[in-house]
Structure formats: C-alpha cells, structure tokens
Amino acid sequence: MQKKIGLCVHKMQGGSLDSGDIIVREYLPININTKVTECWEWITQRASPMFLEALRLLEQDKDYVLQKQSTNPKDILRCYPRKPEDGRIDWSASNESILRLINASNYPYAGAFCFYKDKKLIIWEAELYSDNEHYLTQNGQVCLWNDLGVVVICGQGKIRIKEIEYECGGGRIKAHTLLHSIRDRLC
C-alpha cells in the first residue's frame, strides 16, 4: 500500500505527458482510510503556492531542476482515465480492497457502487470491521446492523458501511435505515 501521494510542478515537453524535469514537489501522507476527497482538497490548496514557488525558482535560475525525470519506461508510472463502471464493488474481494475502492471513488467522483434489489447503491462512508465470527455465506451478505452502520461480508473479512446513497440522487442516508436484515445482500 502506498504511504504517500505526490504533487509536482514540472517543465513541459511537447508531445509527451508528464515527462519534464521536476521543479517543485510535495507529498501528502495517506493510509487505508484516506479518501480521494482529502487528496483533492490538498491538491487545490497546494497547487497555486507550488506554481508560485516554481516560478520564483525559475526566475532565480532558468535552468533550475529539483529532479531529472527518468526516461526509462520501467521507472515511469502512468495513470490512465477511469470509467464510472470501474467503481463497481466486487464483494469477493478483500475488505481492504473494497475500502480502498470506496475511498478512491469518493467525492468529487461518482462513488463506489453495488446493487441492492436491482437498484444502484453508492457507498460513501465505510470502515474495516473485525470480529472473531466464523461464517459460511455468500459475499455481500449483511450480517449485522445497528446505529453505527451495516456490516457486510467480503471475500476476506468484513466491512462496516456507514453512509450510502440509494436510487441515485435520493441523497445520502445512514446505511442502517435501508439495510436492516440478514436477508439483505448486496451484489
């Protein structure tokens, strides 16, 4: 798991994406509970000051470089566009993988989703859940609900769902107001 994400201002090279030498770079520490929302807010707060710092450094020395960008393909990480369907939850995945998807798909994006009674259900808030229960069931099965949320069984482990949106556009609600039976299953 990544421990940080980086934001940099770099020189532009025509015809090549993210390939110029880096002028300024900062990192944001992250963990399994970090939502893309927090990253987005950090980027919007830090981007302008970083551009100003890059301009100041280049004004002092037009050839200034913090770090040369590697041209070796094995050193380069590219991130390609995601599609809304990439946010669909696979309940056979581990609870950690599902939580990462929920957090990475969070606002300002469309949210991680699954289906309940053939209608789309978006999960906005969740956390890992741990107990010593042994179980035999289908992935996506609701196994516990209370005011703290709804616990769902994953391929490995469990996750507590706290806030959802059901039938898109209906607004956010507490998960236990919709899901409150061991007969409920998400798919």
Write out the two tokens for 94: 């581990």
Euclidean distance between CA atoms 103 and 98, whole angstroms: 9
Neighbouring CB atoms inside 10 A of 38's CB total: 14
**In 3-state terms, what secondary structure has residue 66?**
coil
Residues of the domain holding 131: 84-177
**Residues 114 and 49 both lie in one domain:** no
How would you write the pLDDT of the chain (187 residues) with one tens digit per residue? 789 999 999 988 777 767 789 999 999 999 999 999 999 999 999 999 999 999 999 999 999 999 998 878 787 777 778 888 999 999 999 999 999 999 999 999 999 999 999 999 999 999 999 998 888 899 999 999 999 999 999 999 999 999 999 986 679 999 999 999 999 999 9
Contact (Cβ atoms closer than 8 angstroms) between residue 187 and residue 117: no
Q: Are residues 21 and 96 in the same domain?
A: no
Distance CA 171, CA 169 (A): 5
The pLDDT score that the predictor gives to residue 136 is 87
Q: Is residue 186 part of a domain?
A: no
Q: Does residue 126 contact residue 111 with C-beta atoms inside 8 Å? A: no
pTM equals: 0.85
Whether the CB-CB separation of 112 and 105 falls below 8 Å is answered with: yes
pLDDT for the residue numbered 13: 76
The answer to whether position 184 is within a domain reads no
50 and 90 both lie in a single domain: no
CATH number at residue 116: 3.10.25.10
Asked whether residue 171 falls in the same domain as residue 96, the answer is: yes
Residue 125 lies in a domain: yes
Distance, in Å, from the CA atom of 142 to the CA atom of 168, rounded to the nearest integer, reads 21
CA distances from 104 to 38, 78, 121, 159, 180 (A): 10, 17, 16, 16, 26
Do 40 and 103 lie in one domain? The reply is no
Alpha-carbon separation of residue 33 from 104, 115, 180 (angstroms): 10, 23, 25
pLDDT value at position 36? Answer: 94
Task: Read off φ and ψ for residue 26, nearest 5 degrees.
Answer: -135, 160
Reduce the DSSP state of residue 5 to 3 states and report it: strand
- The answer to the question of residue 54 being in a domain is yes
Q: Are residues 96 and 164 in the same domain?
A: yes
Strands (E) across 30-140 are located at: 112-116, 119-129
pLDDT at 120: 95
The answer as to whether 187 is a domain residue is no
Q: Which amino acid is at 100?
A: R
Whether residues 60 and 104 share a domain: the answer is no
Domain count, the chain: 2
Query: Pick from 75, 98, 129: which residue ends a domain?
Result: 75
pLDDT value of residue 168 = 66
| Res 169: pLDDT | 67
